[in-house]
C-alpha cells in the first residue's frame, strides 16, 4: 500500500536511522521510489545527519585517564560502603521477618521505628536505588 | 547464620564485574555525549566519574544491571539535568545584574562551528537526542534514557535535523 500523502519528516528520519518496523520501512522505500520530492527531502536529511556525525567529538584522552584513575582510587571504598549497606539491609530484613510479634520485634521497633520495620517486613528497601 | 553467610557470598559475587573494564568500554561514549551536550569539560569529567561511582555502589547493593551502557547514560543524564536546573536557577537570579551569562559555555565550547551554532539553536533536549543518536542508541533506548515517549524522540530529532539542514543551506553547503 502506498501513502496518498507524503510521509512526514519524522517518518523519513525514522526510515533513515532504521527506527521503523519492516512493514513501515518497506512502505517508505516504495514511496521514495516514486516520489522525487521525498527523495530530495530524504537526501537533505541524510546529508545533515552525516555532517553532524562527522563532527562527532572525540573523548579527550587525558580526561578519560584522569577519571579512570579517580574511579580506581575510589572503587574499594565505594564498593565496601555499598556492600555494608546491602548486608545491613539483608540482616535487618531477616531479623525483622523472624521477629514479628515477639520480644525481638518490640526491641527492633523501639530502635528503628515502626515505619522502618514495616518497610523491611514488606521487603522494601527504605533507601532509593539511585 | 548459614543463610547470612550465603547472603554475604552472594553479595561479594555481585561486586565482581570489573568496573574498570566497563569504564574502558563505555566511558568514551559517555564523555562524548556529555561534552557534546554541554561543551564543558569540567561537567563531563565530574558527571562521568559520579556515574561510575554510582555503578559501583549499585553493584555493591546487589542490583542487577542488565544493560550497563543504557544504565550509565540514564544516570549521567539525570545528573546533567540536575546541574542544568541548578545552573538555570542561579543564572535566573544573576540575569538582571550580569549580561555575560553564557560565557562559561562559550569559553568551554569545542571549535566546531556547527556544534556551537546548534548549542545556540537547539534545545538541550534536542542536543541530547542528537548526541544519543550519534552514539547509536535507538529511539526506544533514547526514550528510556530521557524518560520520554519514543514518538517524542522522533519529533525532536526531526526538529533538530531540520535546524542543521537549514543552517547548512544558509551556508550554501546543501
The candidate with the shortest Cα–Cα distance to B17, out of B76, B68, B72, is: B68
Residue A29 in this model has a pLDDT that exceeds 70: yes
Assessment of whether the complete model's pTM goes beyond 0.95:
no
Q: Report residue B96 as a C-alpha cell.
A: 538582571
pLDDT classification of B22: cutoffs 50, 70, 90: very high
Predicted complex ipTM: 0.71
CA–CA separation, B174 and B167 (whole Å): 9
Which residues of chain A neighbour B174 with C-beta distances below 8 Å?
A: 44, 47-48
Region B71-77: mean pLDDT is 97
Residue A58 in this model has a pLDDT that exceeds 80: yes
CA–CA separation, A72 and A76 (whole Å): 8
Residue A107 in this model has a pLDDT that exceeds 70: no
pLDDT classification of B2: cutoffs 50, 70, 90: very low
CA distance readout (Å), B112 to B32, B42, B132, B171: 14, 19, 18, 15
Residue B5 in this model has a pLDDT that exceeds 60: no
The candidate with the shortest Cα–Cα distance to A6, out of A31, A24, A43, is: A31
Cβ(B145)–Cβ(A5) below 8 Å: no
Helix (H) or strand (E) holding B124: helix B124-134
Region B20-45: mean pLDDT is 93
DSSP state of B102: T
Burial class of residue A114 in the structure, from the number of CB atoms within 10 Å of its CB (0-12 exposed, 13-18 middle, 19+ buried): exposed
CB contact under 8 A, A48 and B174: yes
CA–CA separation, B84 and A23 (whole Å): 40
Nearest Cα of chain B lies from the Cα of A110 at a distance, in angstroms, of: 24
CB contact under 8 A, B154 and A75: no
| Average predicted confidence (pLDDT) for chain B | 81
pLDDT digits (tens, 9 = 90+) for B153-164: 999 999 999 999
Residue A2 in this model has a pLDDT that exceeds 60: no
Tell me what pLDDT residue A108 has: 66
| Average predicted confidence (pLDDT) for chain A | 80
Cβ(B141)–Cβ(B75) below 8 Å: no
Amino acid at each position: 500500500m502506498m501513502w496518498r500523502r507524503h510521509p512526514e519528516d519524522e517518518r523519513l528520519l525514522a526510515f533513515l536511522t532504521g527506527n521503523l518496523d519492516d512493514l513501515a520501512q518497506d512502505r517508505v522505500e516504495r514511496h521514495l521510489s516514486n516520489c522525487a520530492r521525498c527523495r530530495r527531502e530524504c537526501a537533505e536529511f541524510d546529508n545533515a545527519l552525516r555532517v553532524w556525525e562527522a563532527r562527532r567529538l572525540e573523548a579527550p584522552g587525558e580526561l578519560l585517564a584522569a577519571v579512570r584513575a579517580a574511579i580506581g582510587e575510589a572503587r574499594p571504598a565505594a564498593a565496601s560502603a555499598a556492600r555494608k549497606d546491602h548486608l545491613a539491609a539483608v540482616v535487618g530484613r531477616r531479623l525483622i521477618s523472624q521477629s514479628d510479634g515477639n520480644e525481638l520485634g518490640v526491641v527492633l521497633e523501639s530502635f528503628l521505628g515502626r515505619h522502618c520495620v514495616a518497610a523491611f517486613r514488606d521487603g522494601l528497601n527504605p533507601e532509593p536505588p539511585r | 547464620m548459614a543463610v547470612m553467610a550465603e547472603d554475604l557470598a552472594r553479595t561479594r559475587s555481585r561486586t565482581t564485574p570489573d568496573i574498570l573494564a566497563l569504564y574502558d568500554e563505555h566511558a568514551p561514549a559517555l564523555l562524548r555525549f556529555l561534552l557534546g551536550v554541554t561543551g564543558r569539560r569540567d561537567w563531563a569529567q565530574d558527571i562521568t566519574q559520579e556515574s561510575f561511582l554510582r555503578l559501583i555502589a549499585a553493584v555493591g547493593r546487589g542490583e542487577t544491571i542488565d544493560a550497563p551502557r543504557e544504565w550509565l547514560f540514564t544516570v549521567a543524564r539525570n545528573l546533567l539535568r540536575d546541574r542544568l536546573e541548578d545552573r538555570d536557577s542561579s543564572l535566573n537570579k544573576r540575569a538582571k545584574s550580569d549580561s555575560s551569562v553564557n560565557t562559561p559555555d562559550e569559553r568551554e565550547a569545542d571549535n566546531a562551528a556547527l556544534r556551537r551554532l546548534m548549542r545556540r539553536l537547539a534545545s538541550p533536549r534536542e542536543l541530547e537526542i542528537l548526541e544519543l543518536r550519534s552514539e547509536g542508541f535507538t529511539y526506544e533506548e533514547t526514550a528510556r534514557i530521557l524518560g520520554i515517549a519514543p514518538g517524542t524522540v522522533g519529533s525532536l530529532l526531526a526538529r533538530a535535523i531540520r535546524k542543521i539542514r537549514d543552517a547548512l543551506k544558509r551556508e550554501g553547503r546543501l
